[in-house]
A and B are shown apart, each in its own frame.
Chain A
Amino acid sequence: MLGLLIVLAAVVLAFVPELLVSDIGTANRGNILSRLKPPSDLFLFGTDDLGRDVFKRVILGTRSALTIAVAVVSVAMVIGVPLGLVAGYMQGFWSEAIMRITDVFLAVPQLILAIAIAQILGRGAESAMIALAVTYWPFFTRTVYAETQRVRSSLFIEALEGLGASRLRIMAFHILPNVAAPVIVRATVGMGFTILTAAVLGFLGVGATPPDPDWGLSISEGRKYLPEQWWYATFPGLAIMILVLGFNLLGDGIRDLVDPRLRKSR
């Protein structure tokens, strides 16, 4: 419930930040006179080295964090789910080829591979998104592959095959709905995971570029002003934690809904 609340609030803020901050348009406008001011009534989270309001930038950062997460997870699903279906349902060459390619991508922690790809594509939010999507699809393929293998031996699939349904039809209309639940759970948790990884890319300088209000980037900029101007690096990190927490709780909640067996353990 809390997870759903956090995620909904973040989505609303990302689309209409004006609800909380009336002049969000000024978030990227600096004012040298109000440089590095501590949190106060006027600047709730203080100001940064260019005199920009940290609160407004954190709010505006919600949009870019959500955009990256949604884009990365959708692209990864579009690539990963069909491959998993094909690999799980068909046997032989294509199945083997797909799963061995998946193994290669999963042989390195996602972040490391994403760093390498993002760096080669050049600095920027787009390359970070491409790098994250290219390294995240194998997780969907793995999930869908395992589930499809389980479903494909069921009696109803055999019946459909006997009736002469095409393989495409069986995969799209009969197997896919049966493997949807774990995919949805993975996608929800993957959102939070992607926000975390994207923040690391931003922090390391292979992601968003200034003046993006990206949270990871803000933390790396704010770090130079510790310990006196503690607020600059602290609040973007809190924002990451709350939003990721929201997605994780939502993922747990959805899993409990679709898989009641797991509910008794809490």
Chain B
Amino acid sequence: MLLFAIRRLLLILPILLGLLLLTFLMLRFGGSDPAAAIAGDIATPQQIEEIREGLGLNQPIIVQFWDYLKDAARGDFGVSVYSNRPVGLDIARRLPATLELTFAALLIATVFGIGFGTLAGVYRNSIFDYVVRIVSVAGLAAASFWIAIMFQLVFAMELDVLPLRGRLPTGMEAPQFITGLYLVDCLLTGNLATFWEAFRHMILPAVTISLGGLATIARFTRSAVIASMQSEFAMYEEAVGYPRHRVVFPYVLRNSLVTPVTQVGLLFGAFISNAVAVEAVFDWPGLGSYLVEAIFTSDYQAVLAVTLVIGAIYGLVNILVDLTHGLLDPRVAERM
């Protein structure tokens, strides 16, 4: 198992290297001339040439790529045009907000997805089953940023029961930085008032991001539960006269959850993707809204750095998924 984890970690490295090459090529050949952008409109060709020399753009392409790699390995992605701070620092500052939101969404999707899916599978063809099926099919088809806006319209603007945007009310101080996850930091410092506000602010964006995943998990759980309910051991138990809940919880669920739980990890990419637009809608100060700001200011460095960081996180999560799969299913662990 440990060997498997190490091998998988080593296997990400060439992929990340490829990703770096891809972003490097996009930066050099796709975008506008960075030297001209820095020099501004009134620069003479000579001045631009000097800046090119200073940036190392006249070096052979291989040398440039090597420099880019060295910088990236140190977390140095250049200076953001938008915030005037190093991109690496901006990302480090905003990453916890996105992680907190994504974890919350994963939690919601898993708990409610498995719950609804199990109920729908056990009470197959009941009204509840139909509602779950229709809502989950529709939830997969809706654009997450649109759902975010509709939630804002209904819960924040019309009913005024949940906050409209941000991580905390304006004026409220953020909890002391320990992990960067507000909910965790509030608990660690015993700051319950801030915890409550942070929690309220997280509900709408986290639920929005979770919906697609929730629907997928509910669908997988439902069909897995139906399959195990029809298996011989479940029919036998029912025939012997076990009450339904004694059949479902200890036996059926345990046999049905492997597929949905591995789906959870696969959905992580979808969660991160959803987070981009949803963060922008809710002004959530995470990586997604940073990416959107970078788009508006044509900040190529920042856009590509965010792409790289997300790629790295994505790779790590996929390893975690495989490991969880092994923990849940001893047959898989044996092959690792």
Interfacial residues, chain A to chain B (CB-CB below 8 A): 100-101, 103-105, 107-113, 115-117, 119-121, 192, 196, 199-200, 203-206, 216, 219, 223, 226-227, 230, 233-234, 236-237, 240-242, 244-245, 248-249, 265-266
Contact = CB atoms under 8 A, between A and B. Distances in A.
Contact of B315 (A107, A113, A196, A237): A107
Contact of A112 (B137, B140, B226, B276): B276
Given A204-B292, A230-B153, A265 B138 contact: no
B101 interface: no
B314 interface: yes
B157 interface: yes
Dominant SS among interface residues on chain B: helix
B223 A266 contact: yes
Given A104-B18, A110-B269, A119-B295, 9 more contacts: A109-B273, A199-B146, A204-B276, A227-B153, A237-B146, A241-B142, A248-B141, A249-B137, A265-B223
A107 B311 contact: yes
Interface of B: 14-16, 18-19, 21-23, 26-27, 30-31, 137-138, 140-147, 149-150, 152-153, 157-158, 223, 226-227, 269-270, 272-273, 276-277, 280-281, 291-292, 295-296, 298, 300, 303-304, 306-307, 310-311, 314-315
A54 to B, nearest CB: 14
Contacts of B18: 100-101, 103-104, 107
Contacts of A108: 19, 307, 310-311, 314
B28 to A, nearest CB: 10
Contact of A203 (B140, B277, B315): B277
B223 A241 contact: no
A112 B143 contact: no
B125 to A, nearest CB: 10
A105 B144 CA distance: 23
